[in-house]
A = this chain, B = another copy of it.
C-alpha cells in the first residue's frame, strides 16, 4: 500500500511537472489574450500552414515602460535622472540657479513636463551628456544596485512583468527575434536589457542622440551629447524600426498611444500574418490602474479605441495575469 501511494504521488508529480513544462505562459490565466498569443505563434511556426513565416522574418517589437515593466509613479529613467541630480548637486554650483533643476528636486513634474525641451530634456542633458558612454553606463549600473522603487521596495530591475518575460522567452524559443522599441533612452536601457529581458544591446532601440568619438591617451571613447536628439515615440517608432532593424515586425506589444503607430505599422496590410497586443493597466491593487489619465506617462485612449477594428488584443492585467512580478 505504501509502495502504491508512493508510485501514485510520483505519477502525480510527473504529471504536474510535465503540465507546467507544456505551458509556456504559466503566469497567464486562460482566456482570449493568452490563447491569441499561443495561436499566433502556432500558426506562423507551422511549416504546413499557409501562414508560416520563415525564421528571419519573425521579428517582434516591445515597448518598455508600461509594457515590460511599470512606469509609475514615474518612468524609471526619470527616477534615475532625479537621483543623479541629487547626487551631483554638491559638485554643480550652477544648478542652484536652474529653475528646472529646482523643479526636479522638488518633484514638481508638471513644471518639468510642461515643455519637454525646456524641462525634461534639459534634465536628461544635465545628467546624460558630457560623460563617456562607459561612465554613463557605470552610473546607471550603480543606481540599479542601490535605488529601490518607492512602492514595491525592490530594485527597479526586479520589476519586470513576469507574464511578459514568459512571452519574450516563448517567442525566442519559437525563432523570433525580440526587440525593444521604447521612448526611453537607448543608453539607459542597454545597461539592463540583456540581463533582465535577455535582449542584447543591438536589439534595444530607444530615444537616442549622437556621440562624439575621441582618441584619448587612455584609449578611444565616445562622449555623450544631445546632438540629433531623436524621440523614439509615436510615429518615431516605425521610423526607428526601419532605421535600426530594416524590416517590418510581425508582432508588436505596447500599452499606450505612443505605441499606436508601431502597432499600425506591424498589423495593417502586412503581407505576413501579424499580431498586435496592448497591455491595459487595470490592476490598482497589484500594480496600477490607468488609461486616459495616467499619473505620469502611458496615456491610452486612441489605441484602445482602435483595438477592435485593428484586431489588437487587449490584455486586462487584473484578469489575465496570474502574477505581476517574479517572486
Interface of A toward B, CB cutoff 8 Å: 56, 133, 177, 179, 186-187, 190, 194, 200-204, 208, 210-213, 215, 218-220, 222, 228, 230, 235-236, 238-239, 242-247, 261, 264-265, 268-269
Contacts and interface: CB of A to CB of B under 8 A. Distances in A.
A264 B238 CA distance: 33
Contact of A245 (B179, B201, B211): B201
Copies in the complex: 2
Contacts of A228: 228, 230
A201 B203 CA distance: 12
Contacts of A239: 210-213, 222
For the complex of A and B, 6 pairs with smallest distance between CB atoms: A201-B246, A219-B269, A213-B235, A202-B245, A190-B246, A220-B265
Contacts of A194: 56
Contact of A243 (B203, B211, B245, B268): B211
A245 B186 CA distance: 10
A201 B265 contact: no
A220 B269 contact: yes
Contacts of A202: 177, 179, 202-203, 244-247
Contacts of A204: 246
Given A179-B202, A213-B236, A220-B238, 6 more contacts: A186-B246, A187-B246, A211-B239, A212-B235, A213-B239, A215-B268
A218 B208 CA distance: 31
Contacts of A215: 261, 264, 268
Contact of A200 (B56, B220, B230, B268): B56
